[in-house]
A and B are shown apart, each in its own frame.
Chain A
Amino acid sequence: MGRMKGHSIVKAGLIEDTLNRRFHFNPCVAVHELRMRMRDGRPFSVLFFYALLAILSVLITLAVVTFSYSGFYDPMTSEVGLGRITFTALAYAQMILMLFVLPAYGAGAITMEHEKRTIEMLRATLLSPSDVVTGKSLVVLAFGALLLVTSVPVAAWSMMLGGISPTDVLLTYSYLFVIATWASAIGMFMSNLFTKSITAIVASYVVLGFWCAGIPAAVSIVGMTFSQSSSTSAAGFVSFAFLVLVVGIVSGWLLFLIHRRIWSAIFKRAGRNLATLVSALAAVLLVWLIFRGLMSPLLGIADLNRPESMLLLIPYGGLGLIIYPSGAEAMFQSSSAALTADQIQLCAWAFSAGIFLLMALLLWLRSIALYESRSRTRT
């Protein structure tokens, strides 16, 4: 027993050494956070309710579908398997639950240090801003993964009901994990922006609510206004423009960060203004090249000038297109070669998950930068 424990300590220590040396990442914040958050099986009550709600939503769907003799589902004639319907209910229930749980979980990460008055001592250590922010983010993500894993048995049961393939399940789960990353990144960002947990949590919910409900509403209002004056699909164009905007802002920020790290290091202080100018020009050039080089083949695959393309930007829209790829058919079928349903599904997954991952990456980098700037000047 003692020897076993000794072995695991050595193993953990070697992992720590490797992370420190190879990746310049000090994992102690993650370990510390895990010790606190996972103590005494505290998260298991959350896990339990999560699983309970997920199962309940599946059962309710099942009951509604099979026992109501309404016309909208007849198991004898429908092409959609019962498994797919229950799985859809499961996936959506999980997405909603995660969008509630994870931002709150992430939003407390740094504000908690302020509230407990531990932030000063944390900042006095040799931990880098990235060690702190990344370490804490990883634990929130691990919790998200744990939530997803608890629902796997329910998903397996759906598969047994038929109508759903392992690929569907895999794509859905990976997509849900990407959404979890995005949601917790929003929480983490707010946690660095504010000093009170409650403010950070409310701000995260407001942003998420705006993203999930406000954007579709705004786009459809604009779309309706346009479609009266012209016959082309204006809503599609608007959503496409929006997508370009998102990608543009994200890549612009990434370039700005690269500029801050690399250019200003080269030019030091003397040529800072010059460096800013040069890198701004370089950024413009690069964004243009990326759009020419990277986006045009993508645009060849997808006709983002359609109303459905907006769905790719919204968590539940993307999820719908992954589970029911037929919805995205028109969007991806306009390209030269006809795509199979599987390929369409993969395209929808790649586009939507890519956008959310990009946003999560941006938020993560911004969180680190925020933490850094706060620790050098204020409070």
Chain B
Amino acid sequence: MIHVQGLTKRYGNITAANDLTFSVEAGDAFGFIGPNGAGKTTTIRMLAALLKPDEGTATINGYDVLQEPEGVRASVGYMPDFFGVYEDMKVWEYLDFFAAAYRVAWRRRPALIRDVLELTDLSAKRDTYVDALSRGMKQRLCLAKTIIHDPDLLLLDEPASGLDPRARIEIRELLQQLCSMGKTILISSHILPELGDLCNKIGIIEQGKLLMVGAVEDIWQQLEGGTQLVIVVHDRQQEASDFLAARPDIADVELEENALHAVYRGDPDAQSAVLTALVESGFRVTSFAERETDLESLYMRLTRGIVS
């Protein structure tokens, strides 16, 4: 869906995007993570054919961003990081304008507007003025306009920034729904947990450089060389910790607030052997679980040492 090769953009002596190479396949939810000023917006704008790259190529849906911007625009729904809404404009008029601007035929527009309003839970606001909407609603409306021409790919630049927790969750649920509808999504954020449940692939960008890119689990495996286990025992925690550390298939045990964090390096199918061994040795195990792939700690581990 997206193929980027050596993409570079310079502003004076700042290299906002430095030799980026990655690809996103159809159906992926790609998380683009990096702190403020890392070059996320610059990259996304180049992908949306809004900014000319200095070097490198990018193709979207087979269209080259430089040669065929029309094709790119038709296949992409773009949501900028900062955006405003028109004053004196009703919600349906706003969507009607963007639908027409994407050449959706007038006969199809009313039904389409109804559908996207329903999807973004704004049906009740159809005749409300756009600038009277709350921030979260404006964000959802912008998402509605982003999908109005049924693009295959959504480029979303920090869609949840500046929202309260509730609105954040609403946006995330909406994005999950869009994922399940088969849209390819590229979403940027400087806040990691935001992308947690959503993305199957991430790219970490820092000062214009892509530090790492790949499937979330792959990156974990690469970093830890194993699966993270979280084990809670009722008592004798220190003994359990020593017991685990003695096993050859366990590396790196840490005791944090009564929970044992261990890395399992053995055969993934034989993981339960660890539990069996614990129980047989008389430890009262109350919980034994694989740790949720936590992007935040992943990010911290990744950037540790690389970024100073």
Binding site for B on A (CB under 8 A): 9, 12-13, 16-17, 20, 26, 28-29, 31-32, 35-36, 39-40, 116-118, 120-127, 375-377
Q: Choose one: A31, A39, A123; the contact of B88 (CB below 8 Å).
A: A39
> In residues 90-145 of chain B, which contact A (Cβ within 8 Å)?
93, 97-98, 100-103, 105-107, 142, 145
Q: For the complex formed, measure the closest distance between the CB of B104 and the CB atoms of chain A, giving whole angstroms.
A: 10
How far apart are the CA atoms of A376 and B106 in the complex, in Å? 29
A121-B97 contact given A126-B70, A126-B74, CB 8 Å threshold: no
Return chain A residues, CB-CB under 8 Å to B52.
Answer: 376-377
Q: Report whether A126 and B102 are in contact in the complex, using a CB–CB cutoff of 8 Å.
A: yes
Most-contacted residue by chain B among A28, A118, A124 (CB, 10 A): A124
* Segment from B17-25, B77-85, B193-201, B222-230 that makes contact with A: B77-85
Interface of B, secondary structure class, is loop
In the complex, which residue of chain B has the Cβ closest to the Cβ of A13?
Answer: B106
> How many positions in chain B have a CB within 8 Å of any CB in the partner chain?
32
How far apart are the CA atoms of A36 and B131 in the complex, in Å? 12
* New A-B pairs, 20, CB < 8 Å, besides A32-B86, A116-B85: A13-B106, A16-B100, A17-B105, A20-B103, A26-B103, A35-B88, A36-B86, A36-B87, A116-B86, A117-B83, A118-B84, A118-B86, A120-B78, A120-B80, A121-B80, A121-B98, A125-B98, A126-B103, A376-B52, A377-B52
Return chain B residues, CB-CB under 8 Å to A124.
Answer: 48-50, 73, 76, 78
Q: Report whether B84 and A117 are in contact in the complex, using a CB–CB cutoff of 8 Å.
A: yes
Q: Choose one: A32, A375, A376; the contact of B97 (CB below 8 Å).
A: A32
Return chain B residues, CB-CB under 8 Å to A118.
Answer: 83-86
Binding site for A on B (CB under 8 A): 45, 48-52, 70, 73-74, 76, 78, 80, 82-89, 93, 97-98, 100-103, 105-107, 142, 145
Q: Report whether A120 and B101 are in contact in the complex, using a CB–CB cutoff of 8 Å.
A: no
A sample of 29 inter-chain contacts (CB < 8 A) reads A9-B106, A12-B106, A17-B106, A28-B97, A28-B100, A29-B101, A31-B100, A32-B86, A35-B93, A36-B89, A39-B88, A40-B88, A116-B85, A117-B80, A117-B82, A117-B84, A118-B83, A120-B45, A120-B80, A121-B80, A121-B142, A124-B48, A124-B49, A125-B98, A125-B102, A126-B73, A126-B101, A127-B101, A377-B51
Q: Report whether A26 and B89 are in contact in the complex, using a CB–CB cutoff of 8 Å.
A: no
In the complex, which residue of chain B has the Cβ closest to the Cβ of A20?
Answer: B103
Q: Choose one: A116, A121, A125, A376; the contact of B87 (CB below 8 Å).
A: A116
In the complex, which residue of chain B has the Cβ closest to the Cβ of A112?
Answer: B86
A120-B100 contact given A36-B86, A36-B87, A36-B88, CB 8 Å threshold: no
Return chain A residues, CB-CB under 8 Å to B73.
Answer: 124-126
Q: For the complex formed, measure the closest distance between the CB of A287 and the CB atoms of chain B, giving whole angstroms.
A: 34
In the complex, which residue of chain A has the Cβ closest to the Cβ of B93?
Answer: A35
Q: For the complex formed, measure the closest distance between the CB of A339 and the CB atoms of chain B, giving whole angstroms.
A: 51
In the complex, which residue of chain A has the Cβ closest to the Cβ of B106?
Answer: A13
